[in-house]
Amino acid sequence: MYVLYITHPQVRIDPNVPVPEWGLSDIGAERARRAFSQPWARDLRRIVSSTETKAIETAQYLARASGLDAETVEDMHENDRSATGFLPPDLFEKAADWFFAHPHASYKGWETAADAQARIVKSVETILAAHDPSQPIAFIGHGAVGTLLKSHLSHDVIRRSTDQSPGGGNLFRFDLADRKVTCDWTPIENWQG
């Protein structure tokens, strides 16, 4: 059986709101509605989400389409960037480049890429260990930790070139039995199952 890792689509950026509390923008919400109206959404048997607002909102769209309830797991959050707070997009992109290029060092107090990778891998593996292997499952989360998870599954080094395309709202698929990535980052509305 297969596992999907789905990233939230575009968010409403507000420098006055903590990043974990940002919700989906109108574009992000529309992308989620359109993507999850595809038949594959009804094939899922479990949805597990990060506790960040944008991930929960994405999971709720998928839950409505699939007829399931979404679970939340605290340790699936995005890499902890609270030490710097909000960064304007140009500075954020430079910081993200540094984060991936120096996986064992902290960018101005951020969680390191290596630590974030260990956390997301442990969280996903813990859930999968108790999951019925005959049932498809979707994880709803974030781009950076999703990339770190995919790097781990692919036995690849941590690097930004394996990141999803800008804007979020992408997914990759891996097999539950052997953890092999069988579909690379794909925009959610383009995936056919």
pLDDT at 166: 84
H or E stretch including 174?
strand 170-175
Buried b / exposed e along 97-130 (16+ C-beta atoms within 10 A):
ebbbeebeeebeebbbbebbbebbbebbeebeee
Average pLDDT over residues 27-33: 98
How do the domains of the chain map onto residue ranges? 2-187
∠119-173-61 over CA atoms, to 5°?
A: 85
Distance of CA 56 to the CA centre of its chain: 11
Query: pTM, whole model, 2 decimals?
Result: 0.97
Over the stretch 106-115, which tens digit does the pLDDT of each residue have?
999 999 999 9
pLDDT at 105: 98
**Per CATH, is 2-187 categorized as 3.40.50.1240?**
yes
Over the stretch 80-130, which tens digit does the pLDDT of each residue have?
999 999 999 999 999 999 999 999 999 999 999 999 999 999 999 999 999
Average pLDDT over residues 155-172: 94
